[in-house]
Structure 1
Amino acid sequence: MELHLYSRQLFGNIPPPPSLNFTSLVLDLSDNSFVSKIPDWLVNISTLQHIGISNNGLYGKIPLGLRDLSKLKYLNLEDNYNLTASCSQLFTRGWEMIQVLNLGSTKVHGSLPSSFGNLTSLTYLDLSFNAIEVVIPSSIGQLCILNMLDLSENNITGTLPEFLQGTDNCLFRKPLPNLEYSIMNNIQLHGKISYWLVQLKNLAGVSLAHNLLEGPIPISLGSLQNLMTLELEGNKLNGTLPESLGQLTKLLRLDVSSNQLTGMITEGHFSKLSELKFLLMSANSLTLNVSSNWMPPFQVFFLDMGSCALGPSFPPWMKSQKQVKELDFSNASIVGFIPNWFWDISPHLVFLNMSHNELDPPSLANCILLDVLDLGNNSLFGTIPSSLGQLPLLRSLHLKDNRFSGDLPSSLRNLSSLETMDLGYNILSGIIPTWFGEGFPFLRILILRSNAFFGELPPELSKLGSLQVLDIARNNLTGSIPISFGDLKAIVQEGHYYEESLNVYIKDRNNNFTGIIPNEIAKLTGLLVLNLSRNHISGQIPETMSNMHQLSSLDLSSNRLSGTIPSSLSFLSFLGSLDLSDNNLFGAIPYTGQMTTFDATDFTENPGLCGPPLPVRCSGDDDSSHDSNKRHSYNDTNDDGLFDNRFYLSLGLGFAAGILVPYFILIIKSSWGDIYFDFVDHVVDKLSRLTHRQGINHGQRRKIHHRRQFICIYRYVKINELDPCTLILLCTRFASLNILA
């Protein structure tokens, strides 16, 4: 019987079939929404041959009974992220007939036992995205009919030859003679790519990306005539790229990016690569050296040669590439213009990165499918081409670090699909258009930093319902911050942010904003960074800023703010950067909670501020009647209200005076003394544990230290049976230390 309920939008628990009496059974429940443990009844069907429950919400332990299903040939539990199992238990025995085992993206953990080599029927093994650790046992070389091996994204270490050696059990003692696909990305492999790899003549795919491999790429890889995929990116491979790779007639994908390769790339490197569709060589130090009339034998879809020396002129061989969808020629030493024929042959282009070159302004009107355009860090000048408005599908536009000037063209409002617009570091001027607010319903990142925009910030920007990052620093903007900015809905939401484009500048000219910080800004509870420094903002810091509990950086320096610092700022537990310097703030700094993580430089040039971390003491600090705010500034109070200065004084004097009476009683009746000291010991330990439960910040450490001193003094007295006079001196000294601290 076969039961196929693949992708039927089922949910809840997995129900049992009508009957458990079958001569054979295929059970496929993949791609549903089951949220349950693997049911017990499943391991009781001894005739099961095929179990597929991938891509559900299964949780709990993988039943060990599955390994004892003697007829089971196929098991796929992939993409059940909360399933767990220990390798040492799961693979110690059983699995006699298993041919396909896919436990990818679960929580299988521990090291594989040597008994793993007993699974000699395996043809397909996927243990990727788990927590398998240490080295793979050499016994895996006994899997003589294994066709596909995926161990990616684990905590495996070691070198390649340590776990893929041939054994007497395999024909001709070759390691894994039937292996076609070997995928071992991001598992901390080190050492060199060894000679044994070229013995695997059936290899169609090799992926060793993002490891710690070093040394040269073996020339002998060119003998693997069945190879279709070779991925070696993100390692420390050095030397030249072997020309022998140009003999791989079936190669579809070659990725050697992000290594330390050097030298020339010649026509011979591509001589027989007629099937090549993906070529990635970026982030090396390679130089393309081909004749001016060279035409590649391939038609690639994806071409990434960023950081390769391709210039000075735009590569003429690109004239033959009429199927390119994604092109990265960034930092390729190209100078001058992109020829018109390139736009004519690129109707399928969806991704173009030509940043960090020396280009002239291009014409992009024919690239109507373009999704991402990056022309940043060039020498582009003049006004932004109005032809950009003819790219209706564009989602990401990067023109930063050029010399564009003038107003923003109105044709940009046609880019209604934009999600990212980075125009920073140009010479753009004029006002920020009001149509920004309605023209970009999906815009999430808007960067206009370091231009010459002037005028007031249009309130219409608050209509950008998807905006998460707004960077307008270092312009000539004036006026007050619009109250309507509190309505930026996407910044109110918590959980989805873009941080990569935010840079907080604290020294350079910002804008010329005036007025106050509106209370409505506190509605932006999802805001991560707020930089209003170097403006002319006045008024007080809103108490409601404590509602912005995701805030990680706050810079209000070099303004005209006055009043006291709200004590509520101490509750911003994610705040890692704060600058309130160069204002007119006064009063005691609320040096508690998160505020104790900042130093004096964050509060300087406010003549009226006092208290830690500044060296300026607040007036009335020596007055016993000073209010609780001043006591907070010296860290002499705690939320429990017990350990303030007066408590320490009364503790010392009261303990000193009160000990005289019990002392004479306790020395007469020693059993009473033992009970008394045990009770006090219990109370002190309880207070100590209470302190730790409440959480310790920098401002509390000093008081904790004094409490520990008190505990040590008490226990020292108890153990050494000191006389009452010595005890009085110790307690009085202890109280004075706390008052003077």
Structure 2
Amino acid sequence: MTAQQLLLTKGSFLVVPSHALIGFSYADIKGKHPSIYRPANNTMSLTSLLIVLAATSTIFTAANGSGSCIPAERAALLSFKAGITSDPTDLLGSWQGHNCCQWSGVICDNRTGNVVELRLRNTYISADTRLFWCVPEGEPDPLQGKISPSLLALQHLEHLDLSGHNLGGVGVPIPKFLASFNKTLTYLNLGCMNFDGKLPPQLGNLSRLLHLNLASPVSTQTLLHSEDMSWVSNLHLLRSLDMSGVNLTTVGDWVRVVTLLPSLEDLRLSNCGLGLPHQPVVNSNRSSLQLLYLDNNRIDTLNPAYWFWDVGTIKELDLSTNQIAGQIPDAVGNMTMLETLALGGNYLSGIKSQLFKNLCNLKVLGLWSNEVQQDMPEFVDGFPGCANSKLRSLDLSLTNLTGGIPSSIKKWSNLTELGLSNNMLVGSMPSEIGHLSNLEVLVLQNNKLNGYVSEKHFTSLLKLRYVDLSRNSLHIMISSNWVPSFSLKVARFAGNKMGPHFPSWLKGQKDVFDLDISGASIADRLPGWFWNVFSKVRYLDISFNQISGRLPGTLKFMTSAQRLDLSSNSLTGLLPQLPEFLTVLDISNNSLSGPLPQDFGAPMIQEFRLFANRINGQIPTYICQLQYLVVLDLSENLLTGELPQCSKQKMNTTVEPGCIELSALILHNNSLSGRFPEFLQQSPQLTLLDLSHNKFEGELPTWIAGNLPYLSYLLLRYNMFNGSIPLELTELVELQILDLANNRMSGIIPHELASLKAMNQHSGIRSNNPLASQDTRITLHADKVRVIKYDSGLQMVMKGQELFYTSGMVYMVSLDLSYNNLVGEVPDEIASLVGLINLNISHNQFTGKIPDNIGLLRALESLDLSFNELSGEIPWSLSDITTLSHLNLSYNNLSGRIPSGNQLQALYDPESMYVGNKYLCGPPLSKKCLGPEVTEVHPEGKNQINSGIYFGLALGFATGLWIVFVTFLFAKTWRVAYFKLLDKLQDNMQLSVAMISAKGYCFQSTIVTP
């Protein structure tokens, strides 16, 4: 029995106020004041009661005045802490000592001492952040572990916030015991906690809840879901509900459920897989709703009768990133309280500013990635004048806006964010933009703007933090003496002209974390202040300029740097020591020299590009320790020696779960030697391997297919590999480029070529490959798909010349076995590789015929079979390849007539294609063929020709017979003359036979007479 309960006497009872004895048992009281406890009759006198009250009052005072707290609740909190396995930011570091009410995140009732609030939100999440992702890169790491049921001892808990911490995991659902706080809890935030499984409907027991956040991060590992939302309707007091990221695809009555909550003000159901019912719910009585977020769902239409159009209290409506097509209903004009309207990322058309004429409170308008059928001046002029001074944010990116930016834009005097990127805007950037003194974000990238930009465009923009003018044709003419009054965090000017001198006005921008001045026509030496000013950057891109200067010996002082792109300049020096958290480095196409350091830092590097420099020496073994390395490109340098033997180091390295392994290794055009790199057996994600133009030797290993199942590009040309082509190579179902040219390969071509599935599919099928977008190249497989930019180019021989493929590489399908010692016949199975664009088996010792079915390679653009010992006729099916633009059959033993027709007649320098085949004849050669010209005699056409001849003979016979019959039928004189002629012929024939018989008898008689 506790001191909070009734104290019984013999025949009467006394009620002790619960606040006086809360948290203390009789054992506690007995231990502190034994005189008031009477075991004989278990009664209390009035004097004893007064002593109890005085004692408990003293204890209560001590509990709040001396720094202690209720032991049972302190023990519960310590038990919760024991369930935390990782606390990187020392969030619970203060949880020591007796006063739990002074611990970080613990709030107690000043009167009773009970823990009433537990506020342990991850510090990166602000109170109103919408949760889609877990902790962003570079932000504080979350707590990890499990939620202990000991929290149930906090019987007066009203506020529980654990959001942003990884206290879930695969197979770990939201704990059901949290529903036991049904009498006290008014605030529950479990957002972004990586829980998995079905939402417990027991949460519907928390009838006192005012705020519920179950938002789930976008994740491939865990997934919160629910098939029924009816339990939500029990939360009658609920004011805000956030279930963003929870899979509600199968929930069909969600609209009805949420409209049953009379006090609901804030509803967030983003990224839930929801659609809107075809029969709209009307008369919903939803007069209290103010915020409605339904973005990232499956909504495909906007019915004018949908329930939210009539909710006159809505201030924020977000329907962005859905599948909504058609036009915006005029009903949007009735939402006069609307302050935020987000419709971006849909398929809306006919959007005009006049639609919003009644929205006088509009502050935020997002229409990006829709069809605005207006010029920019018309849109600005048609915008409701009553909202001009209230508009804060406008995003019209990717809306096909045309025209110029009008000077009347200055009427949006309080605008803080302006996004007009990826449109067709022309003309100059008006100086009136400089009058928007509250502007913080200006994004005009990827338009057709031109003209000059000077300091007058920025003079009054004191609050500017983010500016992106990249990919226009602007000439940024800012005086080197100008000192900006703003402090930028993001500065992007790529593709505009800022040079030829380095823009000195950037010297004062020390808070920039994203700087992009690539392709800005700068031809100057890197200033001495550069590395100091931009030491805080995360992303730096100065590529494709003519910037010179020597790199410093170390860049480790750039403690925040994650991506550095210094490529395509004239920088010199050694490779510096790299920042600790760097993930992407590109210093390609410069003039760096000297060997690579034995330890150059950047242990988390993922993309490492140093191609086209003057790096010499050997590749250090430090490369083996980079367990996150995805792309390594050291091509076109002066590297020598053998590759490091990484296999043992790799196998002994503890690789963290989910890490990304090597996917592209590009080493072409060096002087590297040794055998095929064995350490690649530990890189099962390898997609691209380019060892061409080196000195590698030995046989190709048979383990390639088994250990590198996703290999798509294998380029080994100009090495000294020998032996036969491993049969196992045909098991590489992803292989679409195989280049073994200029080696010492021998043996035959394997007949199992049909197994190369990536080569026996047409380009239309391959275009589904996630690589087929812009200039991306590498993809990682399994449960991690990551697309990596690759633009250094692949060197290939096609159409008789050496070409570099960058953006088109994903579409290239090529088989090049030229300049080897291969023998035997060209297998018919080669015609099954219908996706081939380039086929080159020249300069070998192939014999026999060209496969008759070679015409099945309908995608072929280049075919080279020259310098072999092929014989027989050229298949006529070759003329079926209409895409062919390069053909070389020279120096073989081919004979017969050269096929004609289709693309073959339009090829460049046609005679050289057939030179060295002395038995070929017919155009384009001067040697004529004997016999009539044949237009087409290939196997597929023989049956057609024969059947045509037979059909013609039958038709001619039938026609002639019919003419004779009709003539005799209607011409009697002809008929009589015809039959008389037949009778006369018959009489003459009989007479001749009789005479011959008589002569034979006489002759026979003469011979037999003695």
**Short-chain TM bin:** 0.7 to 0.9
Residues 636, 352 of structure 1: alpha-carbon distance in 2 compared, 3 angstrom cutoff: same
Matches within 5 A, 1:521-540: 521-540=729-748
Deviation of the 1:253 alpha carbon: 0.9
Q: 1:346 aligns with which of 520, 535, 558?
A: 558
Q: In the aligned structure 2, how far is the partner of 1:93 from the partner of 1:649?
A: 76
Q: Which has the larger radius of gyration?
A: 2
Q: Is the 8 A contact 1:76 1:102 kept in 2?
A: yes
1:159 shift after superposition: 1.9
Moved more, 404-413 or 199-208: 404-413
Q: 1:123 aligns with which of 336, 339, 343?
A: 339
Asked if the contact 2:281/2:307 (under 8 Å) is kept, the reply is no
**1:370 matches 2:593:** no
Deviations 1:436-472, CA, capped at 9 Å, x for gaps:
7854971111100111223332344233222111111
Q: Would you say 1:433 and 2:631 are equivalent positions? A: no
Quote the offset at 1:194 in angstroms.
Answer: 1.4
CA gap of 1:344–1:601, structure 2 versus 1, over 3 A, is closer
The residue number in structure 2 matching 1:444 is 663
What is the 5 A alignment of 1:120-269? 120-136=336-352, 138-166=354-382, 170=384, 173=385, 176-244=388-456, 245-267=458-480
Contact 1:185–1:210 (CA under 8 A) maintained in structure 2: yes
Distance 1:565 1:109, change over 3 A: farther
Question: Size of the alignment, in residue pairs?
Answer: 630
The answer to whether the 8 A contact 1:374-1:398 is kept is yes
Structure 1 residues 23 and 522: alpha-carbon distance in aligned structure 2, compared to 1, 3 A threshold: same
**Aligned match of 1:386:** 598
**1:646-677 superposed Cα distances (whole Å, 9 cap, x missing partner):** 666676677888999999xxxxxxxxxxxxxx
Which residue in 1 is equivalent to 2:621?
410
Residue of structure 2 aligned with 1:101, choices 296, 305, 317: 317
Q: Distance in 1 between matches of 2:304 and 2:827?
A: 56
2:473 aligned with 1:473, yes or no? no
CA change 1:209–1:11 in 2 (3 A) is same
More displaced, 437-446 or 479-488?
437-446
The one-letter amino acid of 2:225's match is F
1:613 aligns with 2:875: no
- Counterpart residue identity of residue 556, structure 1: D
Q: Would you say the 8 A contact 1:141–1:176 is kept in 2?
A: no
- Cα deviation per residue 1:665-708 (whole Å; 9 max; x = unaligned)? xxxxxxxxxxxxxxxxxxxxxxxxxxxxxxxxxxxxxxxxxxxx
Deviations 1:496-555 (A, max 9, x none): x8x9xx9x89xxx73232222211112221223222233332333323332222235122
- The C-alpha deviation readout for 1:349-384, integer Å capped at 9, x for no partner, is 222222122222245336222222111111112222
Distance 1:14 1:131, change over 3 A: farther
**1:319 corresponds to which residue?**
532
Deviations 1:42-72 (A, max 9, x none): 289376655432112335x554615764535
TM-score normalised to structure 2 length: 0.56
Give the Cα separation in 2 of the matches to 1:224 and 1:418. Answer: 45
Q: In structure 1, how many angstroms separate the alpha carbons of the residues matched to 2:232 and 2:562?
A: 51
SS at match of 1:262: strand
d(CA) in 2 for partners of 1:380 and 1:489?
A: 33
Contact 2:574-2:594 within 8 A present in 1 as well: no
Determine the structure 2 residue equivalent to 1:85: 301
Q: 1:75 aligns with which of 283, 286, 292?
A: 292
| Partner in structure 2 of residue 596 of structure 1 | 858
1:513-552 matches, within 5 Å, as: 513-551=721-759, 552=812
Alignment partners' CA distance in 2, 1:58 and 1:594: 47
Specify whether residues 133 and 633 from structure 1 end up closer, same or farther in structure 2 by C-alpha distance, changes over 3 A only: farther
Partner Cα separation in structure 2 for residue 575 and residue 88 of structure 1: 53
Which among 551, 554, 569 is matched to residue 814 of structure 2? 554
Output the CA distance in 1 between the equivalents of 2:443 and 2:425. 12
Measured in 1, the distance between the counterparts of 2:646 and 2:238 equals 66
Contact kept, 8 Å, 1:27 with 1:51, in 2: the verdict is yes
Offset at 1:35? 2.4
Question: Which protein, 1 or 2, shows the higher relative CO under an 8 Å CA cutoff with sep ≥ 6?
Answer: 1
Summarize deviations over 1:634-653 as a string: whole Å, max 9, x none. 4349xxxxx86666667667
Per the alignment, residue 39 of structure 1 pairs with: 253
CA contact (8 A) 1:91 1:115 kept: no
Question: Which one of the candidate residues 381, 394, 400 is aligned to 2:611?
Answer: 400
SS in 1 for 2:728: helix
C-alpha separation in 1, matches of 2:395 and 2:550:
41
2:359 aligned partner, one-letter code: L
State the 1:481 CA deviation: 1.9
Residue identity in the other structure for 2:478: I
The equivalences for 1:9-28 within 5 A come to 9-17=223-231, 27-28=241-242
Deviations 1:593-647 (A, max 9, x none): 851332673445554263131796789x9xxxxxxxxx9964349xxxxx86666
| 8 Å contact from structure 2 (residues 635, 667) kept in 1 | yes
Distance 1:601 1:570, change over 3 A: closer
Task: Tell whether the 8 Å contact from 1:113 to 1:137 is kept in structure 2 after alignment.
Answer: no
Q: Helix, strand or coil for the counterpart of 1:227?
A: coil
Measure, in 2, the Cα distance between the counterparts of 1:11 and 1:182.
34
Distance 1:161 1:487, change over 3 A: same
Letter of the 2:273 partner, please give it: G
Which amino acid is 1:533 matched to?
A
Instruction: Find the aligned partners of 1:355 and 1:600 in 2 and give their Cα distance.
Output: 33
- Whether the 8 Å CA contact 1:264–1:289 is kept in 2: the answer is no
Q: Is the 8 A contact 1:571 1:593 kept in 2?
A: no
Shift of 1:420: 1.0
The answer to whether residue 850 in structure 2 is matched with residue 578 in structure 1 is: no
TM-score, normalization: structure 1?
A: 0.75
Aligned to 2:940, which of 632, 635, 645? 635
Over 3 Å counting, the alpha-carbon distance change for 1:488 and 1:295 in structure 2 is same
1:35 alignment partner, SS class = coil
Contact 2:445 2:471 in 1 (8 A): yes
SS at match of 2:681: helix
CA distance in 1, matches of 2:758, 2:228: 40
Determine if contact 2:556/2:577 at 8 Å carries over to the other structure.
no
Q: Distance in 2 between matches of 1:528 and 1:32?
A: 40
